[in-house]
Amino acid sequence: MRVLGVDPGLTRCGVGVVDGVAGRPLRMIGVGVIRTPADAPIGDRLVEIERGLEEWLEAHRPEVVAVERVFSQHNVQTVMGTAQASAVAMLCAARRGLPVALHTPSEVKAAVTGSGRADKAQVGSMVTRLLRLDAPPKPADAADALALAICHIWRAPAMNRLQQAVAAHRTTKGRIS
């Protein structure tokens, strides 16, 4: 499975592509950051993020896009920017008919490090080890994007089984035995 991980942000939007399946060694295909100037109008910044994401989607042809789920923070302006960049990522994926998976920061941290409270350095260190890289990807947004892709690869089989079980339960629930 090839997954494009997106760590959404207006100033720095981390992107990373990982190939692999659960239980086998993973391979990094690419990693980077889409940057926009903080003083540019919001519309221009969103267009720049969209262009960057489209380039990554075209170049790497992922099967799934994993995006960090926006969660409440203390800074409303930061949350808004993150949500807007996240929506652009979902839109780009939907335009191509790609499924989108949303993962919370704590889910990603737990999947990659074993602790949902891991710090950025721990995530970067584990991404480096799991992908057999020479050094942690910089900035942290790039490492976070790879962590999202890894998280999805590892969680997808369990998530699919759960969705199938729920669907089967719904179809049999209405039947009379």
The three-class DSSP label of residue 103 is strand
- Smallest Cα–Cα separation from 64: which of 165, 140, 150, 144? 150
What the block records as the tokens of 42 is 């919001």
Distance, CA of 69 to CA of 169 (rounded, Å): 27
Set 44, 50, 119, 141: catalytic member: 141
Instruction: Establish whether 54 is a catalytic residue.
Output: no
Q: Which residue spans within the chain are E strands per DSSP? A: 2-7, 12-19, 27-35, 64-68, 100-103
Instruction: Establish whether 68 is a catalytic residue.
Output: yes
Set 7, 19, 63, 134: catalytic member: 7
39 is in an annotated binding site: no
Set 44, 48, 58, 68: catalytic member: 68
48 is in an annotated binding site: no
7 is in an annotated binding site: yes
Instruction: Establish whether 134 is a catalytic residue.
Output: no
Distance, CA of 170 to CA of 143 (rounded, Å): 39
Q: Which positions make up the binding site?
A: 7, 68, 141
Catalytic residue list: 7, 68, 141
Binding-site residues from annotation for Mg(2+): 7, 68, 141
